Structure 1
Amino acid sequence: MDSSLTHTQLSTMTEILQKAAQKVGVSTEDFEHWKNLLSSHIDTFFTDNHPIPFNAVESQLGDLAHILNNIRAYIFIKDINGCYTYANRLALELMNCRLEDIIGQNDSAFFSTDTVNDIYQNDQKVLLDGLTIESEEVLNPNSVSEQRVYWAVKTPLYDKQGKIRGLCGISTDITERKQIEDSLRGNQELLATVLDNIGACIYMKSTDGRYLYANAATATLHHLRPECLIGLKDNKFFTETSIENFKILDEQVLGTQSKVAGMEVFQLLGQEPRYYWSVKVPLQQANGKIYAILGMSTDITERKRLEDELLRLATTDELTNLYNRRHFLSLAEQTLSRSRRYNEPLALFMCDIDFFKHINDTFGHAVGDQVLQKVADIIRSTLRDTDIAGRIGGEEFAILLVQTNLTNAHEVAERLRQKIEDSRIHLEDGQLVPLTISIGVSIPVYPLETLATLLQHADQGLYQAKRSGRNKVCIA
């Protein structure tokens, strides 16, 4: 080891060792062990920045050399001309030579031409400009066949007059770390490409609802770049109704700490609502605490429209837009069961348009269709939203009134009959087609009443209304 090293130079070495350790992730505990040993020996060797003669501290210098040789970094010193004056054991192994062989040699003796040029450029910044630099260096020693990547920290050394006399460098092999970083970067780029080309909105939000990540589809939805969404909340973009809708799944995720899925209504401010199928999962810290929610939402507006249309076609009479027979009977069965369970009043109407066959035969089926539509419109306008109505036959309609006793049911039936009697179908030739309807009313007798018997009783009332002259309401 060069006995001309000063206290300042060795102190500088500890500082750049620390920079190198922090950069490459050397364990703090391991580094501090060697740093403390090095500092204690420096304080022993030097006083007032003047070196003590070598023969006075020979054993101590041996200890110091041992410390430098066991630090997991490539440590070296060069003079103003770029020639080596010191290298620790790891650096000597890299260059495949002994300490006495390296003294006075420059990098051209140990590295390829490309490598030497890169090292020279960095060294000149230190030796000529007095800069302390940190940079990656790709080294290709003559003694090995592969290139390796090093993180180098280099700082100038000064003589007593304050002039630069050389440099001290610490290099750490980061090849494996670079390979891992490159692999991770490649995976991240691949993942980003995949996520940004998925049609679904993929996003991550903190537990207080701020965006932490958004893919291209999410950003496009908001007409922003992905990075511009970070830190924002949904109240910048969505209606209050949508925000309340989002909270349903979010609270389920936070409450169950598991994946949940469901339909959400996305209504941007000033726009029509759209329907999304959302899957949300919690992201948890090592202690199990949820720090974010990861979501994927797929636009299902068109699919929902088609499903709604299919449901409408399956449950609705196309001509009148009332429920068809099958769906009416299904809803009536459910309603009767609920009313029986809670002992609630309920009434059923069976309705039949009077002289409908005569209307068809006299004016044609097109006019007959108008009559059916007119009656259906009057039924809709007379009933409450909670009541159920359906076309169950050619000119037959059934109506189920919930929470309705016999007295109220009779009043509703009379009002409906009167409205239909007061209406007319106006033909193009000026003729008027009169309309009347006969209604049979029944109420259930719990607990034995079934839908079949309730319908049968209403049919009996309808039969009575027909036999007694039509345009009447009869209670069975």
Structure 2
Amino acid sequence: VLYFNKNFAKLIGVNEEKIKNFSIFKILKTIEKVIRDENILKKLRADYLKNKVDIFKDYFYIKNGDKKVFYKESLPFYVNGVFKGRVCLLRDVSKEKKYERKLLKARQEYEDLVESVNAIVLKWEANGKIKFINRYGLEFFKFKKDEIIGKSVFETIVPHTDKNGKDLYKMIQEISINPEKYIYNENENVDKYGNRYWIVWRNKPVYDDDGNLIEILSIGSDYTQQKKLKDRLKQLAETDELTGIYNRRKFMELLKKETEKSKRYNNNISLLLIDIDDFKKINDTYGHEIGDFVLTLFSKLVSKNIRETDIFARWGGEEFVILTFTDLRNAKILGEKICNVVSNFKFDDLDKITVSIGIASYKKDEDINSFISRADKLMYKAKQSGKNKVATA
């Protein structure tokens, strides 16, 4: 033994003066008394006899009550190119190993928790690449682990549409702006077989020490049934139960928005107020069931003959309304088209059915009630002119 420090003497429990007279083999025998791992002892014995440039690194426990853990490095040294022995460094890493065990335990507890919750737990990168999904998520989306890990969300659980891409990008931007907050969003997702589900996601960003976004932690819950109920309630609140088109309440809401836009951007909008001629006679002659049949069929007929952008609603009874985004001249063309389509359509064995239509174009200085009132007066003017007509201001 050429050199040792006080800590080494303390470790093996031998007086410093005695160690000076020890051979390496006696040192090894002494160390055997304090090291409890036989595999490490075998390595130690072998290391000191090896003439290699390898650096041998091992962790081992000592037998005293403190149960300390040491990290050993051993490498050969030479004098004039001749192997003379080895240099050993022992470093007490007990605290580090203790923290490591605590960390491993905490990680295991976290993983056990993640795997036991009845929710989808997902870790993914900002580019959409999936890094982790828990057991519940795999079962929910019906994927095997190797079918989803490393793949993009767009290849697996998100329907690849422009809207979904924009929504995802928008959510990532919002996360970047609010790094301390959970960002909530609803997404339509798909499983392996294309079945669609609505999922409510809670998203939290994870950053490295330099502040770079490295992944997003998302926790999802199936929201499909609640979404269907919510949509159904919204539909009932906004649509006419008999015909399925917008009801008066929803139409007024949309009309208010569109008149405000018209004032702001100087857009043309026109209102068509439609009344089915002699509808009372149909009810009195054939009964209300046939009357309902006429209203439903009429709604479908008109829906097929207007643009997707036009807003069509049941105003009340046998009266209907259309808000079209055009000037009075083109609105009149639409009205005449509807008159012709309805009068030429065969409503089963019923007599010919016609409509009277009043059309008004929106004036930027009038309120909604005035706008509707002008269309209503023109509709009655069309009726008084012989029905099956269009009247404009």
TM-score of the superposed pair, with normalisation by structure 2 = 0.79
Does the CA contact (< 8 Å) of 2:143 and 2:192 recur in 1?
A: no
Three-state SS of the structure 2 residue aligned to 1:348 is strand
Q: Does the 8 Å contact 2:208/2:214 carry over to 1?
A: no
Task: Tell me, in whole angstroms, the C-alpha distance in 2 between the residues paired with 1:395 and 1:226.
Answer: 60
The aligned residue for residue 331 of structure 2 is: 409
Kindly report the root-mean-square deviation, in angstroms, between the aligned alpha carbons of the 2 structures.
Answer: 3.9
Determine whether 1:146 maps to 2:66.
yes
Match of 1:442 in 2: 360
Aligned-pair CA distance for 1:373: 0.5
The 10-residue stretch of structure 1 (178-187 or 117-126) with the greater mean CA deviation from structure 2: 117-126
Residue 315 of structure 1: how far off its partner (Å):
0.5
SS at match of 1:434: coil
1:250 aligned partner: 172
1:226–1:280 Cα change, 3 Å: farther
Relative to structure 1, is the Cα distance of residues 146 and 413 closer, same or farther in structure 2, using a 3 angstrom cutoff? same
Distance 2:350 2:40 in 1: 105
Q: CA deviation at 1:112?
A: 6.3
2 CA distance for matches of 1:438 and 1:365?
21
Superposition deviation, residue 273 in structure 1: 5.7
Judge conservation of contact 2:34–2:63 (CA < 8 Å) in 1.
no
Question: What is aligned with 2:255?
Answer: 332
Question: Which residue number corresponds to residue 98 of structure 2?
Answer: 179
The partner residue of 1:469 within 380, 386, 390 is 386
Aligned to 2:143, which of 206, 223, 226?
223
1:214 is aligned to 132
Aligned pairs for 1:3-22 (under 5 A) are: 5=2
Shift of 1:114: 8.0
Match of 2:345 in 1: 423
Q: 1:347 aligns with which of 265, 270, 286?
A: 270
Rate the CA distance shift 1:174–1:318 in 2: closer, same or farther, 3 A.
same
Give how far 1:470 is off: 2.7
Displacement of 1:213 in angstroms is 2.3
Q: Specify the code of the residue in structure 2 equivalent to 1:442.
A: A
- The answer for the alignment partner of 2:244 in structure 1 is 321
Residue 397 of structure 1 corresponds to 320
Query: Between Structure 1 and Structure 2, how many residues are aligned?
Result: 378
1:253/1:98 Cα in 2 relative to 1: closer, same or farther (>3 Å)? same
Q: Distance in 1 between matches of 2:128 and 2:363?
A: 58
1:193 correspondence with 2:112: yes
User: Does the 8 A contact of 2:274 with 2:358 survive in 1?
Assistant: yes
* Gap regions ≥5 residues in structure 1: 6-64, 70-88
8 Å contact kept, 1:239–1:268: no
| Greater mean alpha carbon deviation, residues 333-342 or residues 371-380 | 333-342
Match of 2:368 in 1: 451
Partners of 2:161 and 2:280 lie apart in 1 by 54
How far apart, CA to CA, are the structure 2 residues paired with 1:338 and 1:156? 85
Q: Aligned runs of 1:33-432 on 2, under 5 Å?
A: 65=3, 68-69=4-5, 89-101=6-18, 115=36, 117=38, 120-126=41-47, 133-141=56-64, 145-153=65-73, 169-198=88-117, 199-205=119-125, 209=127, 211=129, 213-216=131-134, 221=141, 223-225=143-145, 229-230=149-150, 232-233=151-152, 236-237=155-156, 239=160, 241=162, 242-243=164-165, 245-251=167-173, 253=175, 262-264=185-187, 266=189, 271=194, 274-278=197-201, 283-288=206-211, 290-296=212-218, 298=220, 300-405=223-328, 407-426=329-348, 431-432=349-350
Equivalent position amino acid for 1:445 in 2 = K
1:169, CA displacement in angstroms?
4.5
Partner of 1:51: none
TM-score (structure 1 length as normaliser): 0.67
Question: Relative to structure 1, is the Cα distance of residues 349 and 140 closer, same or farther in structure 2, using a 3 angstrom cutoff?
Answer: same
Contact 2:125 2:214 in 1 (8 A): yes
Indicate how the Cα distance of structure 1 residues 413 and 234 shifts in structure 2: closer, same or farther if over 3 A, else same.
same
Change over 3 Å in CA distance of 1:269–1:123 after alignment to 2 = closer
Residues 309, 210 of structure 1: alpha-carbon distance in 2 compared, 3 angstrom cutoff:
closer
Q: SS at the partner of 2:387? A: coil
Deviation at 1:127, TM superposition (A): 6.6
* Gaps in structure 2 of 5+ consecutive residues: none
Separation (CA, whole Å) in 2 of partners of 1:340 and 1:414 = 27
1:278-322 Cα offsets, whole Å, 9 max, x none, are: 55555545454x353414263544443333222211101121111
Paired with 2:288 and 2:356, the residues of 1 have a C-alpha distance of 21
Q: CA deviation at 1:412?
A: 1.3
- The one-letter code of the counterpart of 1:466 is K
Q: d(CA) in 2 for partners of 1:120 and 1:272?
A: 60
Which stretch of the first structure deviates more once superposed, 408-417 or 196-205?
196-205
- Please tell me the residue identity of whatever aligns with 1:453: S
Sequence identity percentage: 24
SS in 2 for 1:193: helix
- Cα deviation 1:88-107 (Å, max 9, x = unaligned): x1122124331345566677
Contact 1:203-1:215 at 8 Å conserved across structures: yes
Q: Which amino acid aligns with 2:169?
A: K
